[in-house]
A and B are shown apart, each in its own frame.
Chain A
């Protein structure tokens, strides 16, 4: 029998470990910088003026709080659980990524940094980073895999319009993990003026905890909104997992509510059994990459394996360490959704609700479509609509292939 912990929200220990996961596995050259980020963040967190400044920007610039929308037609269509969407797609720049970018840019300014670097997969984090850099007049360099540059062209142009330099990454699989490698290489070479603005709850400590803290606004708002609309807490939460930041933001404020079922959705690509997927927790084992220990897709010899997902934002072979720990404790369930299921869900929610979801978010919707019909009509489910799908329409058209004519 496993003993329930008295809290799942205690966070990392002082060395940044969540159980066996997390930590700070980086080159010595970077260690002092990471410790500086840790100190600066601890200091900012304790400063009410920092939180007040962040709240102001989140309200007036990002447009928070984001709505919690009752998806009436999806609910009727599925004939089970009452489905709500947390509308992170309505944030300025179109995804949840901006929540953490705003927090981190204010921190970088406090630290006196003048140059910002970031990695991006779908381009949402790159766009959000370029946006806050434009807002504060900071130099911005975005690393993006060549493969992703091709499948997310509209976002590349947006970043350039915002004044960012987009550096194509051609090494390895030329996707998100390789972009992160190159961002780390840049940081090692520019230690004095540069802040690395990581886009998810992964990387060396304190990033997983810091990004989680900045994304928790999603779950905190959801809690207040559902209490107002339903008069009670939700019965379940569903969110997609790339590195895990939108999911962690929604989940964390509910972790200590034992009656709330929590489901994270990994990208299964062509199917976990095919080996062409990005489901690190379902199909990987613990490993060390990008500064932390986490579930990792790797060969028997410890070489990192390329992830595969139709969704560029989920196409990553690892997952944030706190999720890994939550999986091992059993508090959160992690399930796979394939490309085909996500594309189907993308079309369903677009037709029924007039909301075009990001392909990432469509994975969460697909899981809701599976679960809702099996649940009673008084079951309240919140799905994180982590981003909007304008960036994905070309990818979806391509995925539908010859069916695209019929769809029109």
Chain B
């Protein structure tokens, strides 16, 4: 008997369709769940759509974030120290959904907490909380089959990463598992360190476009409204992480910063 599949929410597709209609790229913002504390993080999360975030990546803290630089490492440490759990992160999302039914939210993190929770259970609980998909940094296509079944069954997108090192031969394997949108990691490096060269990003996006119809979001190293605008000219969405996490940590008007980024992205294309 074929496995019954839950129809996916379609929020990601709907959002990119709307962006295409508006003739602009989207702003994707990353924040860490539970940083600096549950209430403050909830307030930022709930303020993001009005500030101009088109898609939200909600970080699930992990003790050993191997692909992250000092900023996001510290955010994860703060969140864990104040008691953030995977269940707590999903509860944050469920509360957000009571107020916002449309903004796509993608959970982002590392595999072990999901593995520990149980892949099947995670997919069920994440879908119930209102997630649209997940980005699992340390799950390359070689290991992705562990998740594709449960994710499909609960209508979640597995959002795959491609990198400058992903060559033409590997790309089909990545695309095989990719859903929602494709996340292009614009630098070889960890988060919050160097910035991408815009020309190289444009070339990379063009190469990817030739191989997939999925929208392409570009992230890592985008720190300012100008950089976000430059990426928005080449890609379907620009992802800002560490720079926002820093603002959240210092309480330096994070939502005002998101508004400035959104303005940059919205004004990018003539």
Binding site for B on A (CB under 8 A): 15, 23-33, 171-172, 177-178, 181, 184-185, 188-191, 286-291, 293, 296, 298, 300-304
- Does residue B41 face the partner (Cβ distance < 8 Å to A)? no
Q: Which residues of B contact A181 (CB under 8 A)?
A: 64-66
Per CB-CB distance, the 7 closest pairs between chain A and chain B, nearest first, are: A302-B116, A302-B113, A29-B163, A189-B189, A303-B63, A28-B161, A32-B165
Q: Which residues of A contact B164 (CB under 8 A)?
A: 29
Q: How many contacting A-B pairs (Cβ < 8 A)?
A: 120
- Does residue B85 face the partner (Cβ distance < 8 Å to A)? yes
- Does residue B167 face the partner (Cβ distance < 8 Å to A)? yes
Q: Which residues of B contact A184 (CB under 8 A)?
A: 66
User: Is the pair A298, B190 in contact by a Cβ cutoff of 8 Å?
Assistant: no
- Give the CA-CA distance A286 to B160 in the complex, in Å: 24
- Does residue B23 face the partner (Cβ distance < 8 Å to A)? no
User: Is the pair A24, B142 in contact by a Cβ cutoff of 8 Å?
Assistant: yes
- Give the CA-CA distance A248 to B261 in the complex, in Å: 53
User: Is the pair B112, A287 in contact by a Cβ cutoff of 8 Å?
Assistant: yes
- Give the CA-CA distance A29 to B174 in the complex, in Å: 12
Binary A-proximity of B75-114 (CB < 8 A = 1, otherwise 0): 0010010000111000000000000000000000011111
- Give the CA-CA distance A31 to B190 in the complex, in Å: 15
Q: Which residues of B contact A25 (CB under 8 A)?
A: 111, 138-140, 143
Q: Which residues of B contact A293 (CB under 8 A)?
A: 115
Given the interface pairs A24-B140, A185-B66, A296-B112, the reply to whether A29 lies near B85 with Cβ below 8 Å is no
Please, which residue of chain A has its CB at the minimum distance from the CB of B113?
Answer: A302
Given the interface pairs A184-B66, A188-B190, the reply to whether A24 lies near B143 with Cβ below 8 Å is yes
Q: Which residues of B contact A190 (CB under 8 A)?
A: 188
Q: Which residue among A177, A287, A288 has the maximum number of chain B CB atoms within 10 Å of its CB?
A: A288
User: Is the pair B80, A15 in contact by a Cβ cutoff of 8 Å?
Assistant: no
- Does residue B16 face the partner (Cβ distance < 8 Å to A)? no
With A189-B189, A288-B115, A301-B87 given, name 5 new contacts (CB 8 A): A27-B138, A177-B64, A288-B111, A289-B64, A303-B63
Q: How near does chain A come to B57, taking the closest CB pair, in angstroms?
A: 16
- Give the CA-CA distance A29 to B189 in the complex, in Å: 8
Pick from B80, B137, B139: contact of A303, CB below 8 A: B80
Sample (10) of A-B pairs whose CB atoms are under 8 Å apart: A24-B142, A28-B160, A29-B164, A29-B188, A31-B142, A171-B70, A189-B190, A293-B115, A298-B116, A302-B112
Interface secondary structure of B, over-half rule: loop
Q: Which residues of B contact A296 (CB under 8 A)?
A: 112
Given the interface pairs A27-B161, A288-B115, the reply to whether A188 lies near B137 with Cβ below 8 Å is no
- Does residue B67 face the partner (Cβ distance < 8 Å to A)? yes
- Give the CA-CA distance A100 to B134 in the complex, in Å: 38
* Cβ < 8 Å to A, chain B residues 38-83: 62-67, 69-70, 73, 77, 80
User: Is the pair A301, B116 in contact by a Cβ cutoff of 8 Å?
Assistant: yes
- Does residue B117 face the partner (Cβ distance < 8 Å to A)? yes
Q: Which residues of B contact A31 (CB under 8 A)?
A: 140-142, 165-166, 170
User: Is the pair B116, A188 in contact by a Cβ cutoff of 8 Å?
Assistant: no
- Does residue B9 face the partner (Cβ distance < 8 Å to A)? no
User: Is the pair B113, A303 in contact by a Cβ cutoff of 8 Å?
Assistant: yes
User: Is the pair B116, A300 in contact by a Cβ cutoff of 8 Å?
Assistant: yes
- Give the CA-CA distance A15 to B142 in the complex, in Å: 8
User: Is the pair B64, A304 in contact by a Cβ cutoff of 8 Å?
Assistant: yes
Q: Which residues of A contact B242 (CB under 8 A)?
A: none
Pick from B70, B113, B137: contact of A301, CB below 8 A: B113
Q: Which residues of A contact B137 (CB under 8 A)?
A: 27
* Cβ < 8 Å to A, chain B residues 137-184: 137-143, 160-167, 170, 174
User: Is the pair A304, B112 in contact by a Cβ cutoff of 8 Å?
Assistant: yes
- Give the CA-CA distance A184 to B165 in the complex, in Å: 15
Q: How near does chain A come to B265, taking the closest CB pair, in angstroms?
A: 25
Pick from A28, A177, A298: contact of B162, CB below 8 A: A28
User: Is the pair A188, B188 in contact by a Cβ cutoff of 8 Å?
Assistant: yes
- Give the CA-CA distance A172 to B61 in the complex, in Å: 13
- Give the CA-CA distance A234 to B193 in the complex, in Å: 54
- Give the CA-CA distance A291 to B66 in the complex, in Å: 10
Please, which residue of chain B has its CB at the minimum distance from the CB of A29?
Answer: B163
- Give the CA-CA distance A171 to B63 in the complex, in Å: 10
Q: Which residues of B contact A29 (CB under 8 A)?
A: 67, 161, 163-165, 185, 188-189
User: Is the pair A27, B112 in contact by a Cβ cutoff of 8 Å?
Assistant: no
Pick from B85, B115, B163: contact of A28, CB below 8 A: B163
Q: How near does chain A come to B157, taking the closest CB pair, in angstroms?
A: 16
- Give the CA-CA distance A6 to B138 in the complex, in Å: 34
- Give the CA-CA distance A98 to B140 in the complex, in Å: 31
